[in-house]
Amino acid sequence: MIQAGNTTPIVIDAIISDQPPLETGRMALDPKVDSADEIKVFRAQYNFPADKYPALSTLIDQN
């Protein structure tokens, strides 16, 4: 990039955490599809509180 004349610095913002990565392939959050126990386990494992991260179906039903 410098050879092309770009002298703008590149900044990478990384956060180091002891939290496990969030499993986005299958998120057990939807009460229409997942059991209460599955949702509870998922939310506890990934520190995903319902008041901060509601299920998409909950948001859709509110509108």
Residue 10 within any structural domain of the chain: no
Residue 22 within any structural domain of the chain: no
Nearest to 27 by CA among 40, 41, 42: 42
Nearest to 47 by CA among 18, 7, 12, 11: 18
Entry pTM: 0.60
Task: Note the pLDDT of residue 1.
Answer: 58
Name the maximum alpha-carbon separation found in the chain. Answer: 57
- Domain extent, residue 54, equals 27-63
Structural domains of the chain, count: 1
Residue 57 within any structural domain of the chain: yes
The answer to whether 40 and 63 are in contact (CB under 8 A) is no
What are the tens digits of pLDDT across the range 44-58?
A: 998 899 999 999 898
Residue 28: phi and psi, rounded to 5, are -80, 85
